[in-house]
Amino acid sequence: MELFIDTTLAEGGVIVLSFRGQAGSEYLDRFKERLESVIQDPSKKYLFLFKDLSYINSLALGAFAASIKKIIKGGGSAAMAELSTSVREIFSMTRLEKALNIYNSKEDALKALNVSS
């Protein structure tokens, strides 16, 4: 299954990235390029939605973690929401869920991001 990443702008200037498909090795370059192109200003607020992402491998997870680190280092903020069951399990196994702001719903994540501004 192919990887799609849709980008929208939400209330409060939050940049929302919605992932769909699978983030496996065959789409790793596209995954990295898309993250880099969207996160050009790490001082902004970003919301990552994973509801429709059925799989993420360790290399893509590493690229994602590097993007989050770039945002935090740049003074921005990031949140994740609507993780699919399989992606939530991977975040749990790697203990990333303890280091990241993960919310059950898009609405909760947007509230948290807009309060932190």
Contact 29, 61 (CB under 8 A): no
Average pLDDT, the chain: 90
Residue 26's pLDDT is 86
Confidence of residue 2 (pLDDT cuts 50, 70, 90): confident
Q: How much of the chain, in percent, has pLDDT values that exceed 70?
A: 98
Residue 116's pLDDT is 61
Q: Let me know if 104 is exposed, middle or buried by CB neighbors in 10 A (0-12, 13-18, 19+).
A: exposed
Domain ranges within the chain, ordered by starting residue: 3-110
Q: Which pLDDT tens digit goes with each residue over 70-95?
A: 999 999 999 999 999 989 899 888 88
Residue 77's pLDDT is 95
What pTM value is reported for the model?
0.90
Q: What are the distances in angstroms from CA 61 to CA 9, 28, 57, 58?
A: 23, 10, 6, 5
The matching CATH number, chosen from 3.30.360.10, 1.10.150.120, 3.30.750.24, 3.40.47.10, for 3-110 is: 3.30.750.24
pLDDT, average across residues 16-32: 89
